[in-house]
Amino acid sequence: MTPKSVRTSSSPPPAFDSTAKKGHVFDSSPWHPYNLPIDADVPDPGIKGPRSIDIGARREWLNSLLYYIGADLGIKKALAIPYMEGYMPIVKPRVDEILGR
Amino acid sequence: MVFYVPPHPLLCLIADLLQLLANLQAAKPPPIPIENILDMKKYLPIIYNDSNTLVIQLIWREAQLHALWHEAKQSNDPPTTRYDLQVLLKTALDLDLEYEAWESMLPPIWGYRVQPNTPEVRSTYDVKWQKLLLESKGAPGEIYIHPSLKKSWIWGFCRTSRMFLLRDTLEILNWMFRLPEPSHSSSHSPVESMRGSANSDADTNSFTTSFLDTDSLRRQYTLSTAHLVDVIEKACCAIFGNFIVPVKGRSFEDMMGMRGYVCVWPLGTMDSILSSGLVPDAGASALHSEPRYDQSKTLPMTPDTSQAAQSPPQSFYHDTSMVRSSMYDLYETVTDFMPVPFRLLPRTALTYHKYPKPALRMSQ
């Protein structure tokens, strides 16, 4: 995830769009294009590379728990994440089956 | 006749903490100076004892940094040189070291049991937890069991706020990569001038162009990414414990609402970061690893979730209904909270200013 080749620019950074929609309900503000790396995975020979995470699987796990907390433990706002992120069709039937519903 | 009953200091402290977390989440500066929180030590000496930790102060400082970083990138005059961002970056790196120091300085009472998440270990827990948490897709490889819910909660505060910090660090670095590399023929010590009347500690925080060159930033990026992955893994390992750790005077199944409440902020923050594109993805083509910024994706509509969708969790820690309904539980949970030796008092109020252009030209 370390930038391979840095492409600097003399042009000013893109203006922040305060009206842009937030990417995730737990983001503090709308996304800015400079937030992300320029290039994808390139190992830095000088440093042991970071581990990685199976993001799809881990997000499914996180959203399963959020659904459980929202649906079973009464913290309704926890449901906003699987709902907004599109995980409800996956996690709801799975958790409901585990809980015998 | 009307009697005025001042609020209990603990209630004030809880309100301050909830507001602090809310402000961190919303990228707003801390609501009150850290000194005001520290002043409550005289009213709550049991809470402000040395066996507690520095978490509140670390969170306070990260809330300040987080607000400044968002202010910088949302500014009408955003950073255009790496010098503009060097103070924020240095502050972030220093603060991350202090998070590490907090963890390394903890007394044994803050320790926790680590178990491998293997079939043998899983079989010792309730089948529901096995299926829901331990053996499901994406489950972490280890299980952390803290000695109490309050310790687990505080660990959660620390790890989650550090995730904010590391995310900020990576975002700052990504901005800097896009900005011109400084000339190697000059060196700058702009910190003092930016901090105005900063105390002598700032004198030691000088920068050189080597700190800002691309190779240095790349090394730091790799390290910060590794730290972020590590903190997320640890936070996931600790989630299960929140559901089973003992709570004094309560049955095993008691306080399930509070147990879930404790988990929501870490879970939501991790999901946000994992969807941000900042964490290396080990999954080849996982179903949900596509960039989240595709706003065209359709959202399923189910009746029992529409209400949740209308209540964005940014206000999660503004919602004090849980606190009102179970103040005793909260008291039990936070009684050991609140650290705050003064060693980590912010050296000076941090402010974001672009590096002054005239000074830059002079130094060149």
Q: How far apart are CA B22 and CA B154, in angstroms?
A: 16
Q: How many degrees, rounded to 5, is the angle at CA B17 between CA B92 and CA B271?
A: 60
Distance (Å) from the alpha carbon of B73 to chain A's nearest alpha carbon: 7
Q: Which of B73, B288, B319 is facing A59, going by the closest CB pair? A: B288
Contact B10, B48 (CB under 8 A): no
Q: What is the CA radius of gyration of chain A?
A: 19
Contact A39, A4 (CB under 8 A): yes
Residue B202 has pLDDT above 70, yes or no: no
Give A60's pLDDT tier (boundaries 50, 70, 90): very high
SS3 content of chain B, % helix, strand, coil (to 5): 60, 0, 40
What's the pLDDT tens digit per position in A63-77? 999 999 999 999 999
Residue of B nearest to A67 (CA): B305
Distance (Å) from the alpha carbon of A25 to chain B's nearest alpha carbon: 6
Instruction: Give pLDDT, residue A63.
Output: 98
Give A9's pLDDT tier (boundaries 50, 70, 90): low
Question: Is A28–B270 a contact, with Cβ atoms under 8 angstroms apart?
Answer: no
Both tokens of B163, joined, read 């995730």
Residue B345 has pLDDT above 60, yes or no: no
Distance (Å) from the alpha carbon of A90 to chain B's nearest alpha carbon: 10
Distance (Å) from the alpha carbon of A87 to chain B's nearest alpha carbon: 8
What's the pLDDT tens digit per position in B114-134? 999 999 999 999 999 999 999
Q: How far apart are CA B48 and CA B61, in angstroms?
A: 18
Per residue, what are the HEC states of B9-77?
Answer: HHHHHHHHHHHHHHHHHCCCCCCCCHHHHHHHHHCCCCCCCCCCCCHHHHHHHHHHHHHHHHHHHCCCC
Instruction: Give pLDDT, residue B161.
Output: 96
Other beta carbons within 10 angstroms of residue B28's beta carbon come to 18
Question: Is A53–B233 a contact, with Cβ atoms under 8 angstroms apart?
Answer: yes
Distance (Å) from the alpha carbon of B169 to chain A's nearest alpha carbon: 10
Q: Which of B137, B260, B271 is facing A57, going by the closest CB pair? A: B137
What's the pLDDT tens digit per position in B41-62? 666 665 554 445 477 889 999 9
Q: Write out chain B residues lying below 8 Å of A100, CB-based.
A: none
pTM exceeding the 0.90 threshold for the entire prediction: no
Residue B233 has pLDDT above 70, yes or no: yes
What's the pLDDT tens digit per position in B22-36? 999 999 999 888 777
Residue of B nearest to A27 (CA): B272
Distance (Å) from the alpha carbon of B202 to chain A's nearest alpha carbon: 28
Question: Is B74–A10 a contact, with Cβ atoms under 8 angstroms apart?
Answer: no
Question: Is A50–B226 a contact, with Cβ atoms under 8 angstroms apart?
Answer: yes
* A23, B28, B102 from B335: Cα distances, Å: 36, 26, 19
Q: Where are the alpha helices (DSSP H) in chain A?
A: 55-72, 80-84, 88-98
Both tokens of B312, joined, read 């964005």
What's the pLDDT tens digit per position in A16-56? 776 776 689 999 988 888 888 876 455 555 556 567 899 99
Contact B304, A87 (CB under 8 A): no
Q: How far apart are CA B276 and CA A33, in angstroms?
A: 11
Burial bucket for residue B284 (CB in 10 Å: 0-12, 13-18, 19+): exposed
Contact B262, B154 (CB under 8 A): no
| Residue B116 backbone phi and psi in degrees, to 5 | -75, 145
Residue B208 has pLDDT above 60, yes or no: yes
Comparing C-alpha atoms, which of B13, B172, B187, B12 is closest to residue B84? B172
Residue of A nearest to B22 (CA): A28
Q: How far apart are CA B294 and CA B364, in angstroms?
A: 44
Q: How far apart are CA B30 and CA B225, in angstroms?
A: 26
Report chain B's terminal Cα–Cα distance, integer Å. Answer: 72
Comparing C-alpha atoms, which of A42, A33, A41 is closest to residue A12? A33
| Residue B144 backbone phi and psi in degrees, to 5 | -105, 125
Question: Is A37–B256 a contact, with Cβ atoms under 8 angstroms apart?
Answer: no
Q: Write out chain A residues lying below 8 Å of B225, CB-based.
A: 1-2, 50
DSSP B91: H
Probe site for chain A from B222, B223, B242, B325 (most A CB atoms < 10 A): B222
What is the rounded average pLDDT of the residues B85-97?
Answer: 95
Contact B323, B14 (CB under 8 A): yes
Residue of B nearest to A1 (CA): B280
Contact B224, B170 (CB under 8 A): yes
Q: How far apart are CA A37 and CA B167, in angstroms?
A: 12
Q: Write out chain B residues lying below 8 Å of A86, CB-based.
A: 288, 297-300
Q: Write out chain B residues lying below 8 Å of A70, CB-based.
A: 308
Residue B294 has pLDDT above 60, yes or no: no
Both tokens of B203, joined, read 């004198």
Distance (Å) from the alpha carbon of B135 to chain A's nearest alpha carbon: 10
Q: Write out chain B residues lying below 8 Å of A50, CB-based.
A: 222, 225-226, 228-229, 280
> Range with the lowest mean pLDDT among A41-45, B173-177, B229-233?
A41-45
Residue of A nearest to B305 (CA): A79
Q: Write out chain B residues lying below 8 Å of A95, CB-based.
A: 132
DSSP E strands in chain B: the ranges are 113-116, 142-145
Instruction: Give pLDDT, residue B122.
Output: 96
